[in-house]
Amino acid sequence: MTIDDIISRCATLPAADIAKGVNRTLDENNSLVVTAPPGAGKSTLLPLTIMAGTAAGKIMMLEPRRLAARQIAERMAEILGEPVGKTVGYRVRFESRVSEATRIEVVTEGVFLRMLVDDPTLDGVSVVIFDEFHERSINSDLALALVRQSQTLLRDDLRLVLMSATIDATSLCNTLHAPLVESQGRMFPVEVVHADDDTIAMASSRRNADIPLAVARMVSRAHRESDGDILVFLPGQAEIQKVTDLLGDSLLPTVVMPLYGNLSPEAQHRAIAPSAGGKRKVVLATPVAETSITIEGVRVVVDAGLCRRPVFNARSGLSHLDTVAISKDMMTQRTGRAGRVAAGTCYRLWTVATENQLADQRRPEIEEADLAPMLLQVAAFGERDILSLPWITPPSAGSVGKAQHLLKLLGAVDADGKITAIGKQMAAMPCHPRVARMILGCRTKEMRSLACDIAAILEEKDPLTAEESADITIRIGVLRSCRSKRNVGRWQRIAMISREYQRMTGATEDNAAIDADDAGLLIAYAYPERVAMATDDVGGYKLASGDNASLSVTDALSASKWIAVASLYSQSNGGRIYLAAPVDVEQMQTTSLDNVSWNSKEGMVVMRREQRIGKLIVGSKPIHDADKDRVVEIVCDAVRKDGLSMLDWSDDVARLQNRVAAVAAWHPDMELPDISTPHLMQTAGSWLPMYLVEGSRVMTSVTEMKKLDLRDIIWATIPYDKQQEIDRLAPEYVVVPTGSRIRIDYRQGSAAPVVSVRLQECFGMTETPTVDDGRQPLLMELLSPGFKPVQLTQDLANFWRETYFDVRKELKRRYPKHCWPDNPLDAKAVKK
């Protein structure tokens, strides 16, 4: 079929106007950006015309969702008048409709990544189309980076096409060095009706229970006020079910239909198919209906303004889905769904004021997602330096480091980041590396079957509630019971996914009773950092990662001392455990660690050999053969923090410090060492170690270290020649006429060194004693016989001449039995 034949069959689609231009541009460029409004036909018409024109080989077209991949492939096959799986086919997780004749494969991004890892050259592929690239999923960003790398190094003939309805095309074109082709589309006008209050604000304040009620009321209003089918955007499956229940039969004969990814293909087709003549329907959809999927007959959109986004907590390594406000580009796309076939109306559940505060564009998922799956795919591709890839938005180095740590923990990559043998097997599986590691780590068929059941339960919405119990073994038991009776009911999709994993791994269906500890052991394979030990708080647990989490105190599982946690909602004050299983810690692989550390409370080095799971201590015993150098290092580190309480900082030490500080102030050129207490504590590692070792043993307690003569140790840190200078310039004592050696007090903050001496011992002393080679007179603090200060002077001669006689009167009155001579310079000095 020629390009003209295809265009003629789709002449009503706006994209028909640019189809030939797209081919001409691709003939001259290896990359192209195409923008077109929703419903223009870019996803169905353009791939067909590229196949008929530019592409000599196969076309791979990436879609962010399974539902869109199926519908687009079916629509293209319908245009060609063929069944799906002939010229046009699709591949999604656990489902494939392709043949040797297939030239256009519509695939989900995850499926394409595994194909790219298997064959980095993309042999036989001429064009790779990234549809709805504005969604900026992490898989889409990674696939583009790897294809560009392959295009640069291996396949310069490979063509890239990025298609979107709403995106910053200028920035994208500049990054890719690609031209832009735009389709103007043929949209009908859409009237926008805003609500009087904000559902978005309700969601941000965690009043999510109010959202379905507000939506149901707006749907009823839209049904009354407008004609045509109604498309309702809700954040998730739970809200869809609640709105369905609230509407009930109130809109009859209008039919209410759900639309989300986990529905059966038959139910999805019913929701998408045109309404029967004269009848109306309301489609309650997740954001899956924003783009790519076309629902004929929609003239009204009701938009809750919310979506779910995975949020990754880099601190804990855990992810959870948050309900958040949409961005303006998402708002525009949703509104456009009401104006495809005729003039329409969009009812928005938020105010104009709130609309002005919405972000212009959604954030690329790579900025906040778990990067472990992405890094494993990159390693399998053969690239170790992930940051060197040609990213549109590069991942942060911190997030990359966290993901690399997890992959090493799982054994998927080695210390150098090179993929291991088991890592290659993990990369080939359509699941998170954690789940792949759990399944591949099984040694028996029974354990592998159990792992497949656990994987299916973890990947799908929990049919039970955590309020009943967080014990995953209860879910496994119900699944196996339903399966054995061939009545799976709401467990149907979980049973199907388990069956697919069994097929891939050679396991068989097993409906026997399980050992709960086996389930816990498998979960520990997948989440080694989430093995948890009960704390003293009822329902409280500490994870191997060091984080805290809790179970409901009424949950029977909280009686288990050790559990392995499979699902956890992380919060700043500790996580909430949703799925877990008891685990026999004796079956767990532990690491041995010699914990040599300073215990401030006990005032000593504690030395124990611990068996650990992450940061959890399974068992320990004292050791006595710790490395001496390590013990010394630990003691010195402790001195830096607790040195004031560990060593004897006596008055003699303080006097030495003050004396040296005085000389340093008088003579900066001497460059005396800093022996202040803060400096000595911080530099303990340079002066203390030699005094801690006594033969073959090391001092390990405060009791022992308090016995050290710290004054002599500090004095020894000063070179000998400078010690002599200090002694000469700042002697410790001055000798008075009685022969007494009176200590000189080099006080901090004092203008001069102080000598406190009884006045009677100074009789006959004519001159004030000095230090610093006579440059610094001492401050004489003259004392009474009762050692009370009576006079301060730095001029002793003047004191005898003028002041002594006034002082003598008072002293003679108070101490009449003492000798108070008329001429103190000729009197004999006395001690008593």
Q: How confident is the model at residue 283 (pLDDT cuts 50, 70, 90)?
A: very high
Instruction: Give residue-wise pLDDT tens across range 432-490.
Output: 899 999 999 888 999 999 999 999 998 887 888 766 789 999 999 999 999 999 988 88
Q: pLDDT tens, 484-508?
A: 999 888 898 899 999 999 998 889 9
pLDDT > 90? residue 535:
yes
Contacts 24+ apart (CB under 8 A), 95-100: 95/66, 97/73
pLDDT digits (tens, 9 = 90+) for 134-152: 888 899 999 999 999 999 9
Q: Positive or negative CA dihedral for 223, 229, 230, 236?
A: positive
Radius of gyration of the chain (CA): 41
pLDDT bracket for residue 316 (50, 70, 90): very low
How big is the CA angle at 132 (ends 131 and 134), to the nearest 5 degrees? 135
User: Is the predicted pLDDT of residue 201 greater than 60, yes or no?
Assistant: no
Beta-bridge partners for 284: 232, 258
Q: Across residues 192-202, what is the average pLDDT?
A: 77
CATH architecture of 3-182: 3-Layer(aba) Sandwich (3.40)
Looking at beta carbons, which pairs linking 711-720 to residues 24 or more positions away fall under 8 Å?
A: 711/650, 711/652, 711/653, 711/656, 713/687, 713/688, 714/653, 714/656, 714/657, 714/675, 714/680, 714/687, 715/656, 717/673, 717/675, 717/687, 718/660, 718/672, 718/673, 718/675
**755, 734 contact by CB (below 8 A):** yes
CATH architecture under which domain 190-367 falls: 3-Layer(aba) Sandwich (3.40)
Pairing label, strands 344-348, 31-35 = unpaired
Mean pLDDT confidence for 352-364 = 88
The reported pTM is 0.68
The whole-chain average pLDDT of the chain stands at 90
Share of the chain above pLDDT 70, in %: 96
List, for residues 756-805, the tens digit of each pLDDT value.
999 999 999 999 999 999 999 999 999 999 999 999 999 999 999 999 99
- Could you tell me the pLDDT band of residue 320, with boundaries at 50, 70 and 90? low
Q: Tokens standing for 726? A: 């200090």
In this predicted structure, what is the pLDDT of residue 164?
86
- β-strand 190-194 against 344-348: which pairing, if any? parallel
CB of 702 closer than 8 Å to CB of 639: no
**pLDDT tops 50 at residue 813:** yes
Q: How far apart are CA 423 and CA 62, in angstroms?
A: 25
Same CATH fold, 190-367 and 3-182? yes
* Average confidence (pLDDT) over 644-650: 95
Closest CA to 530 of 507, 506, 547: 547
Least confident of 202-211, 424-433, 630-639: 202-211
pLDDT band at 323 (very low <50, low <70, confident <90, very high): confident
Distance CA(159)–CA(25), nearest Å, equals: 11
Taking 90 as the threshold, does the pLDDT of residue 570 lie above it?
no
pLDDT of residue 292: 63
**Nearest Cα residue to 824 out of 784, 738, 764:** 764
| pLDDT over 60 at 315, yes or no | no
- Show me where the domains of the chain are located: 3-182, 190-367, 371-428, 433-589, 629-711, 731-814
Q: What one-letter code names the amino acid at 633?
A: E
